[in-house]
Amino acid sequence: MDMTGAVRSREFWRVLLLSAVVGIPVSIAALAFVYLFTSGIDLIWYDLPAWLGLDEPPWWLVIVVPTLGGLLVAGTRRLSGDGGHSPLRGFSGGPTRPQYLPSVLLAMLVTLCSGLVLGHEAPLMAIGTGLAVLMMTAAAKQDMNARQAFAIAGAAAALSVLFGNPIVAVVLLLEAMGLGGPQRSLFLFPALLSSGIGYLVFTGIGWFTGFNQPVLAVPDPPQSGPLTFVDVGWTLVLAPAAAAVLLLIRAAAFQLQNRTRRSKPWIVIPIAGLAVALLALCYSWVTGADPRNVLFSGQSAIPGLAGQGMDIGVSVLVALLLCKGLAFAVSLGGGFRGGPIFPSLFLGGLIGMIGAQLLPGISPAAAFYVGMAAATAASLQIPLGSILLVALLGGAVGIQLLPLIICAAVIGSLLRAAADLSPLRAAAADPAPEPPRVLA
């Protein structure tokens, strides 16, 4: 059905109205989840060390929390729904059934609070699609297009809370699902309406309660100037390097997942949590820096990396790249649940800061945003969404550097496609769906 036929259909207008309504509870639920896991992180990783009179978490806390978190995630994955799909599948997991929400949200809440290197876009998408399916009317259930449009609208409302921008949320979803032509138009309007209304509700609640999702922006961007041929030339070097690092991380994560697929989750996942903890401690012992730099998705650390990255020694940045990159691979393939967007953004920016100090003549801002665009596009295989996301992060500087960001995202996507077609496809292809574990 094209748009001309859609506007004559009562069902289209019903779906559009319901999409506007679903944005309200989805945004409230998404904000509640964000508040819950950020409060958990603050309590475990910041308040508890402060109560102990310490500036940093003690070594035993760094070891105990991710390991115990792995045991708890293994337990939640025994519930119906398996805790959601593997983070290696990105946006391809599909809508979450309402009966799977307890398992999905518990697994991802524990993952985030335990300091694993995964983001929270996956649980927010689960909230959006799960609530949308739950609220679906009998009329909408009769048509597959209506069901899909309603689920996309719910996910868009939830992701608008995450990104602080309804447009980016809608573009990411539609591009990830490969929707084009007249079909895209049918899904576009419900998604836009739901995400816009959901974001309005989110900002209103944030203003009333004083709690807001961290703004996705870099208030103190790296030094920037007019684009030069030097920036363009180094982009052709830095973008493939950043994409290659993320592809190596994905390949390592797939190898880990494939080798442990038949092992018992209550053994594998805690060991994966322990490995992440040891990587954080190793980074701290080698550099003397805070072990929390290796933990978490990196979302809240992106502004600090942009503003202070040039003041940090290259050796410290390389150590952080090695440890956090390995921790990201273990988190992706070790059985935890979450999303890959923010770790990919952070690692790309980190590679950019290393390049800014090693490549003569390149602008620090150009290196930073080129690294993020290439890494995110290679990790997600969503070039347009990656471009918009990185440009949103950069604000005015991002718009100025948009030609380089576009080139970097295209390079990252092409390298990802080449890796998927290579003889090593077994290490780079998307994993097969995992059978859900149902508690007897």
For residues 251 and 384, state if they share a domain: yes
For residues 40 and 12, state if they share a domain: yes
335 within a domain of the structure (yes/no):
yes
For residues 175 and 72, state if they share a domain: yes
Query: How confident is the model over 369-392, as pLDDT tens digits?
Result: 999 999 999 999 899 999 999 998
Buried b (16+ CB within 10 A) or exposed e, 34-68: bbebbeebeebbeeebeeeeeeebeeebbbbbbbe
For residues 160 and 280, state if they share a domain: no
401 within a domain of the structure (yes/no):
yes
For residues 335 and 421, state if they share a domain: yes
**Which whole number is the average pLDDT over 29-53?**
94
The enclosing domain of 17 has a CATH number of 1.10.3080.10
Supply the DSSP string of 214-239, one letter for each residue.
PPSS-SSPPP--S--HHHHHHHHHHH
317 within a domain of the structure (yes/no):
yes
222 within a domain of the structure (yes/no):
no
The per-residue pLDDT for 146 is 72
pTM value is 0.91
Confidence of residue 139 (pLDDT cuts 50, 70, 90): very low
The per-residue pLDDT for 227 is 86
Min mean pLDDT across 117-126, 136-145, 233-242, 356-365 is at: 136-145
For residues 186 and 242, state if they share a domain: no
CA distance 38 to 43: 9
Q: Which percentage of the chain shows pLDDT scores above 70?
A: 85
397 within a domain of the structure (yes/no):
yes
CA distance 42 to 40: 5
For residues 297 and 339, state if they share a domain: yes
CA distance 147 to 170: 17
What is the total count of domains within the chain? 2
For residues 109 and 157, state if they share a domain: yes
For residues 353 and 414, state if they share a domain: yes
For residues 204 and 322, state if they share a domain: no
Q: Read off the tokens for 203.
A: 């900002």
- Contacts of 130 by beta carbon, 8 Å cutoff, 6+ apart: 95, 96, 97, 98, 100, 101, 104, 154
For residues 188 and 258, state if they share a domain: no
238 within a domain of the structure (yes/no):
yes
- Asked if residue 427 has pLDDT above 50, the reply is no
The per-residue pLDDT for 134 is 84
Query: How confident is the model over 387-398, as pLDDT tens digits?
Result: 999 998 888 888
- Contacts of 396 by beta carbon, 8 Å cutoff, 6+ apart: none
CA distance 345 to 350: 9
Reported for 51-59, long-range contacts at CB under 8 A and 24+ positions apart, including other chains, are 56/284, 56/290, 56/291, 56/292, 57/291, 57/292, 59/281
For residues 236 and 358, state if they share a domain: yes
The per-residue pLDDT for 209 is 59
Beta partners for residue 119, in sequence order:
339
Query: How confident is the model over 311-321, as pLDDT tens digits?
Result: 999 999 999 99
- Asked if residue 142 has pLDDT above 60, the reply is no
251 within a domain of the structure (yes/no):
yes
Domain boundary at 147, 174, 209, which? Answer: 209
The per-residue pLDDT for 117 is 98
Query: How confident is the model over 185-194, as pLDDT tens digits?
Result: 678 888 899 9
Domain boundary at 180, 209, 238, which? Answer: 209
Q: Residue 291: helix, strand or coil by DSSP?
A: helix
Beta partners for residue 339, in sequence order:
119
221 within a domain of the structure (yes/no):
no
Supply the DSSP string of 169-200, one letter for each residue.
HHHHHHHHTT--HHHHHHHHHHHHHHHHHHHH
Domain residues for 256?
229-428
Q: Read off the tokens for 372.
A: 């993020």
Domain boundary at 209, 240, 256, which? Answer: 209
Beta partners for residue 421, in sequence order:
none
- Asked if residue 438 has pLDDT above 50, the reply is no
Q: Which of the pair, 420 or 250, is modelled with greater confidence? A: 250
Q: Read off the tokens for 247.
A: 């592809």
